[in-house]
Chain A
């Protein structure tokens, strides 16, 4: 359970987000939408505590995160970003292993090695294991990063009564992916989020994908919260036209929910 109350974040005198209060539940996929400059990415960074808001607070399970240490936070909070550039030649396995950094001191232990093996298999990157990350395509890189992020949040299934929730943030990770990868990624995120202790909050640009995959949609505009709820409640024709300045036609289809077509 993640709770944000009265969040305002400014750079200089310019507020990027103003007075946002919103909460996010476990096992639900929450997607933030809004036009460019709405403050979506800023909100995700504040929730993940990369940025510290001037006013308001972010709580993970009722505990204020502003005093948590980086190392402690990294054990249960991970962020999948837009595009990760590696400055030096690293192998794919080395990049994925970084996800385990918060969990070991000196050298990776057997658990870390087996977690890395498992996530790499899950994301179909085992065959690149020893390849230089810099030589991969955008889609392949993003699969590697997703594997890294899941390695970070990995929890052994045998441990019951999990001590705390895990928080996954998505900072526009689908931007440079083709439609097949976008859908594939969202399905994997959906599956991961189904775990009872996972809170997922992300930014996605495509309104149709958001409508199809999100349990809860948060609509922002000019740094303010406009609406928050299920896709059908938030995505009304009037609201979309007002915020995005394009006129949509909404089609309800059986099975895959709601579709938007723009003029």
Chain B
């Protein structure tokens, strides 16, 4: 076992501990604060035979707690999504929000909210995530199709970012139109889709996002070694036994699904997927096995911190969480762009 490997294990354990601490803070503080005694009383009220929960306890169990868990899961999804995109494009400045996946997913969900009401479809729990995935697939595919060079079929990073910009603008204005004509209160709120918020959290959302996040991360982890091989180039990865085309399809699909499902319940939250893998690479190197596990934990931690800021800075009101992530993410993005200019 190498020194580096042992170091990474310690880092992962430390990150897990930090995630739990941040989670504890997240369920304790908010528009109203819950003491530890209140939290444990609320949790014990779930045990059959105990007295039924009071109103405060129900606020905790039905609003605060699911919101905190959803935040962890969405953060983990966005973190892993960023790691997968960067590994796939061998470039540290791509993330799901920049290549259209998030805005397409948000469009799919908004369309579902608006048309679902009109056509009376969508009784099933899975209709919303499926609509989000469809939107995410269409927008991501559109970006790659349009960014691809006519000569060699490859997408340069400049083309990818510019096309992503255009496709994002297209889908965000489509969402704007849908919000304008919508009757559903969630779809009507344009800030919900464009700036992101966790205020709509429910246990139902937690359940669905948990399934996609866990399944996606486990599949991604199985391909960590192949993604490492990709770091030395597509040809070299092929020589090392990787079926590169197959790998690309699998990773892109996993990425679209985990990001789209998270976006369906929270709107577009940008820059988490960009910042998280970057922090981890500075801490423990570029091995994808470490990055995937680490970015799930770090994504969860950062988004929870952002949510705490969003809830506490203007309480009892709250900020859209996307404002907080962009305030941190944009300077990092510009720093990376300037430092890695030679990539273009």
A residues near B, CB below 8 A? 48, 50, 69-75, 77-79, 81, 84-91, 93-95, 98-99, 101-102, 106, 113, 130, 152
A91 to B2 CA separation, bound complex (whole angstroms): 12
Are the C-beta atoms of B91 and A84 separated by less than 8 Å? no
Interchain Cβ contacts under 8 Å between A and B, 11 examples: A74-B240, A78-B239, A79-B236, A85-B232, A87-B90, A88-B281, A90-B285, A93-B4, A94-B287, A95-B232, A130-B3
Cβ 8 A contact of B285, one of A70, A72, A78, A89: A89
- Which of A70, A94, A101 neighbours the largest number of chain B CB atoms within 10 Å of its CB? A70
Which residue of A69, A95, A98, A102 has the most chain B CB atoms within 10 A of its CB atom? A98
Q: Judging by beta carbons under 8 Å apart, are A90 and B231 in contact? A: yes
Residues of B within 8 A of A (CB): 2-4, 90-92, 225, 228-229, 231-233, 235-236, 238-243, 281, 285-287
Contact of B228 among A79, A93, A98 (CB under 8 A): A98
Q: A71-B241, A75-B241, A93-B2 are in contact. Are A87 and B91 (CB under 8 A)?
A: yes
Q: Which residues of B contact A69 (CB under 8 A)?
A: 243
Note all chain A residues with C-beta closer than 8 A to B229.
Answer: 98, 101
Cβ–Cβ contact B240 & A86, under 8 A? no
**Is A81 touching B241 in the complex (CB atoms < 8 A)?**
no
In the assembled complex, the Cα of A84 lies from the Cα of B230 at a distance in Å of: 11
Task: Establish whether residues B4 and A87, one from each chain, have CB atoms under 8 Å apart when the complex forms.
Answer: no
Alpha-carbon distance A102/B3, docked complex (angstroms): 23
Contact A84 B236 (CB under 8 A): yes
Q: Which residues of A are found within 8 Å of B232, using beta-carbon distances?
A: 84-87, 95, 98
Q: Given A84-B236, A85-B233, A101-B225, are A94 and B241 neighbors across the interface (CB < 8 Å)?
A: no
* Contact residues in A for B281 (Cβ distance below 8 Å): 88-89
Task: Provide the residues of chain A in CB contact with B240, threshold 8 Å.
Answer: 74, 98-99, 101-102, 152
**Closest residue of chain B to A94, judged by CB?**
B287
A95-B243 Cα distance, complex, nearest whole Å = 19
B238 engages A50 (CB within 8 Å): yes
| Cα–Cα, bound, A80→B91 (Å) | 24
Chain B residues, Cβ within 8 Å of A75: 241
A93 — which chain B residues lie within 8 A by C-beta? 2, 4
Nearest first, the 3 A-B pairs at minimum CB distance are: A74-B241, A87-B90, A88-B286
In the complex, which residues of chain A have a beta carbon less than 8 angstroms from the beta carbon of B241? Answer: 70-75, 101-102
Known interface pairs A86-B231, A87-B232, A102-B240; 15 further A-B residue pairs with C-beta atoms within 8 A, sorted by A's residue number: A70-B243, A81-B235, A84-B232, A84-B236, A88-B90, A88-B281, A88-B286, A89-B285, A90-B287, A91-B285, A93-B4, A94-B287, A98-B229, A99-B240, A152-B240
How far is A77 from B236 in the complex, measured between Cα atoms in Å?
Answer: 12
A198 to chain B, nearest CB (A): 16
